Amino acid sequence: MMIHVVCFGNLWQGDDGFGIRVFQRLSGLSDWPPYAKVFEAGTAGLAALGYFEGCGKAVIVDALKTGASPGCVLRLELHEIEAHQEAFSLHQFGVNDLLAAMTAAFAARDVPEVVVIGAEAGEIHPFTDRLSAAVEAAIDPAIDLILRECANWHEPVSSLRDRLR
């Protein structure tokens, strides 16, 4: 069964570009595991539902607004997101909205296991492609968490981490 890593964000909105920066790093792997695919979803909203087809597990990567300190790396499971009414994402159509739509869209099929890995965004500065220092520093810890999610399916974390070097 496949694992899909779906990275959201907008490079031209400062910290909202976090997921795309993670995508760039992960897609630079010379030999991404054959059971895993990484996708750049941008700010796709409902159009992102296709990224969740054909996988048993999906890792969503995005900048988040949860009230934590900027740069704090979070790993959230589906039940933790459903418990809140606020949108976690910086996009108008938030992660929790996407997950609700996915549950409805997959009604007759199994919904993949979903994990969200994100960094708490600081202030959003439109028309800049630079992450704040705190969110930039969150990229490596987030990648480690993503690699752990992939390793939990098939192979040791150390062999995946070696591919980033």
Q: Measuring CA to CA, which residue among 8, 6, 42, 13 is closest to residue 131?
A: 13
User: Along the chain (165 residues), what's the average pLDDT of each consecutive run of 10 residues?
Assistant: 93 94 91 88 84 92 92 88 52 64 72 91 88 97 94 57 51
What pLDDT is stored for residue 156 in this prediction? 44
CATH number, domain at 67? 3.40.50.1450
Residue with token string 């993670």: 22
Is residue 154 within 8 A of residue 35, CB to CB? The reply is: yes
How far is CA 163 from each of CA 61, 73, 118, 142, rounded to the nearest angstrom? Answer: 19, 22, 21, 16
pLDDT at 89: 53
Domain with 71 in it = 3-162
Residue 6: strand pairing partners: 39, 60
Other residues' Cβ atoms within 10 Å of the Cβ of residue 101: 15
Rounded to whole angstroms, how far apart are CA atoms 120 and 18?
9
Give pTM, 2 decimals: 0.84
32: tokens are: 């991404």
pLDDT score, position 9? 92
The tokens of 49 are what? 């539902």
Q: What is the pLDDT of residue 88?
A: 52
Contacts with 117 (C-beta within 8 Å, 6 or more apart), sequence order:
59, 60, 61, 73, 74, 75, 76, 142, 145, 146, 149
Q: What is the pLDDT of residue 86?
A: 52
Q: Determine the Cα–Cα distance for residues 8 and 53; give it in Å rounded to an integer.
A: 17
Q: What is the pLDDT of residue 47?
A: 81
C-alpha 9/C-alpha 141 separation (Å) is 18
What is the number of structural domains in the chain? 1
Task: Write the single-letter amino acid at 76.
Answer: L
Q: For position 82, what pLDDT does the model report?
A: 55
- Residue 63's closest CA among 138, 144, 160? 138
